[in-house]
Structure 1
Amino acid sequence: MIRIVVLAMPGGLASSLAITLDTLQTANAFSRQSGKREAFEVRTFEVTRTTTCRFREGDVVIVPGLGTTTQAELVACLVGPMGQRAVKLVRAARAAGAIVVASCASTFILAEAGLLKGRRATTTWWLAPVFRQSYPDVELVTEQIVVADWPVATAGAAMAQMDLMLAVIAKFAGVRISQACARYLLLDHRSSQAPYMAITFLAGQDGRIARAESWLRKNIDRKVTMDDLAAAAGLSPRTFARRLKAVCDLSPVRFAQRIRAEVATMLRQTTSLSVDEISRRVGYAEPSTLRRLLRRDAHPM
């Protein structure tokens, strides 16, 4: 039996904690139904100034998502006593041989503890630029919902906790149990955060990038170059590319593709236009080009 240690942060997302406990309980139920013993022994600890845990090799330590909604809140959490205690706990867990996983802004706790150094990881899309700047020694894969670089694993924005738990269950209880949990709880298979990333939200953090985004949406049916976008932002191409990467964690090409895909998906869902017409309206002469883009980013079309 695998011992699961859930570290519940004060003010953390109740939904993330509930998802963790519910999916593990469901996995145990399916294990019993298959004639086996329960796969997981689950213990939950609220992180306080004095929280201590004795970790052992083979434990799985789970940090559900934080409830932070701004960068300032996240920083305050990380430097505060509870954040520092959580950092010490996950560092001690890993030193003892435990596996450590986290989702959403809690991935910053793992990074602060040094557990992601030299590893692949993901985080919540809206904090990805902050993460990349703060932890340059981590290979950030923003668009993936779950990145399992065992003995650590990370997941994206808040509800990616569901996907993270399915990955944990698959590794330690088997793929069949994980698939049964997904069907029972109506959890769709998802691999990318891309369809959920709000480019307008990210671009709005830099007035010049927001100007380029607004211009592109007004000229969505045109063929657009990086020079065009830079001119709309009032920046040199090099400066535009650098600021876009810092704010949106995207190259100019991906920036334009993501906005075109977003508009195309909206038109598909809200109009009766054909795919050919939608393709023309978002600047693609060939519908096959748009279809490939949407398949890559997992947008329905």
Structure 2
Amino acid sequence: MRLTVLAFDGVFDTGLTVLLDTFSTANELAVAQGIERPLFDVKLVGVRPQIRTAIGLAATVEAAASVRRPDWVIVPALNAKQPDRLVDALGRPDVVEGLAQLHTWHADGVGMAGACIGTFLLAEAGLLDGREATTTWSLAPLFRRRYPDVRLDDSRMVIASERVITAGAMMGHLDLALWLVRQASPQMAALVARFMLIDRRSSQARYIIPDHLAHADPLIERFERWARDNLASGFSLQEAASALAVSTRTLQRRTEAVLGKSPLAFFQDMRVERAQHLVSIGQDLEKIAGEVGYADSATLRTLLRRRLGRGVRELRTELRS
């Protein structure tokens, strides 16, 4: 499989190296298993002769336009974690030139893949319009505003939409690389995962910090504060809207636009986050249930397992280790 990794100045070092190391490991293990040729022919390319990573390492790259037609082009993240920095980066001349090259490859039937902020570059090129996609959860509000034609589901780790693949935040590069290894050989993907200690993570939902997302919008920030003050009372859309001096329709519409979910779903996220914290400090489960608005601990146990994929005992064991 021919893979082309398109990197720009300021690339997120860990994302880039995770991609390259995963494919290198797969090739080494393939040789050790008696496979005559490496599974992957990987080219690191750019629109300039050299790139400098976010921490200042220089790398010579091949010219993107001159490489042999790849099977897949992979776009790692730029290290621009704040919305204003990312918007500025998307307008850089080298990035604009790279987006044009992505169009050329896509028109030629080449598969497109991006992880974390790399998904913004695919969306900026218009390659995600009308498709399901994921991205780094921390910048999902910006993604929704900037690319309304993309069907974003930031709870998922990897989304395959025909020949376009997107992956979630930062270490989502690892999930993306393993997905591509799996296309070449499911058996080798399992072996690579064991050697590199990679867990299967179908969702990034349990990593999301509701408070961080709330700061993307003034109304949502006020709603978040109201919700934290009312976790024990239970949720009422009418009461929330009245407290914020807006209509229920406005609150519903704004949370959907910024967060991609209903006010109730966001309220539930905060319940889970609060309950998880209280579990971590060893509080009694019945007391925790009361503090987050549940009549009994059985309901809370079910919610935590459904949302986090782990029960209370597992959570306490994790947090002690």
**Aligned 8 A contact 1:13 1:65 in 2:** yes
The residue number in structure 2 matching 1:145 is 157
Q: Does 1:250 align with 2:250?
A: no
AA aligned opposite 1:28: N
The residue number in structure 2 matching 1:125 is 137
Post-superposition offset of 1:80:
1.5
Q: Does 1:209 align with 2:220?
A: yes
Q: CA RMSD in A?
A: 2.0
AA aligned opposite 1:4: L
AA aligned opposite 2:4: V
Post-superposition offset of 1:114:
2.2
1:3-62 Cα distance to aligned partner (Å, 9 max, x none): 111111110100000100111111112211221121001111134399432465552111
Q: Does 1:80 align with 2:92?
A: yes
Q: How do 1:131-280 and structure 2 match up within 5 A?
A: 131-172=143-184, 174-274=185-285, 276-280=286-290
1:110 match: secondary structure:
helix
Q: How do 1:87-98 and structure 2 match up within 5 A?
A: 87-98=99-110
Post-superposition offset of 1:195:
1.4
AA aligned opposite 1:141: D
AA aligned opposite 2:214: A
How has the CA–CA distance of structure 1 residues 297 and 65 changed in structure 2, closer, same or farther, with 3 Å as cutoff? farther
Return 126-135 or 7-16, whichever deviates more: 126-135
**Aligned 8 A contact 2:141 2:216 in 1:** no
Identify the match of residue 109 of structure 1 among 96, 115, 121. 121
Distance 1:20 1:107 in 2: 15
AA aligned opposite 1:22: D
The residue number in structure 1 matching 2:5 is 6
Return 202-211 or 75-84, whichever deviates more: 202-211
1:154 match: secondary structure:
strand
2:130 match: secondary structure:
coil
Distance 1:115 1:181 in 2: 30
The residue number in structure 2 matching 1:48 is 48
TM value normalised by structure 1: 0.91
Post-superposition offset of 1:232:
3.1
AA aligned opposite 2:32: Q
Q: Does 1:295 align with 2:305?
A: yes
**Aligned 8 A contact 1:105 1:123 in 2:** yes
How has the CA–CA distance of structure 1 residues 255 and 6 changed in structure 2, closer, same or farther, with 3 Å as cutoff? same
Post-superposition offset of 1:135:
2.3
How has the CA–CA distance of structure 1 residues 31 and 49 changed in structure 2, closer, same or farther, with 3 Å as cutoff? closer
Post-superposition offset of 1:164:
0.9
Structure 2, unmatched stretches of 5+, are 51-62, 313-321
The residue number in structure 1 matching 2:60 is none
Distance 1:207 1:152 in 2: 34
Post-superposition offset of 1:63:
0.7
How has the CA–CA distance of structure 1 residues 164 and 52 changed in structure 2, closer, same or farther, with 3 Å as cutoff? closer
Distance 1:26 1:152 in 2: 24
Post-superposition offset of 1:137:
2.3
How has the CA–CA distance of structure 1 residues 207 and 131 changed in structure 2, closer, same or farther, with 3 Å as cutoff? closer
Instruction: Give the total of aligned pairs.
Output: 298
Moved over 6 A (4+): none
How has the CA–CA distance of structure 1 residues 47 and 298 changed in structure 2, closer, same or farther, with 3 Å as cutoff? farther
**Aligned 8 A contact 2:46 2:64 in 1:** no
Distance 2:139 2:119 in 1: 10
1:70-103 Cα distance to aligned partner (Å, 9 max, x none): 2222221212212112211211122222111001
**Aligned 8 A contact 1:123 1:155 in 2:** yes
TM value normalised by structure 2: 0.86
How has the CA–CA distance of structure 1 residues 10 and 135 changed in structure 2, closer, same or farther, with 3 Å as cutoff? same
Distance 1:259 1:94 in 2: 40
Return 208-217 or 21-30, whichever deviates more: 208-217
Structure 1, unmatched stretches of 5+, are none
1:45 match: secondary structure:
strand
Aligned sequence identity (%):
39
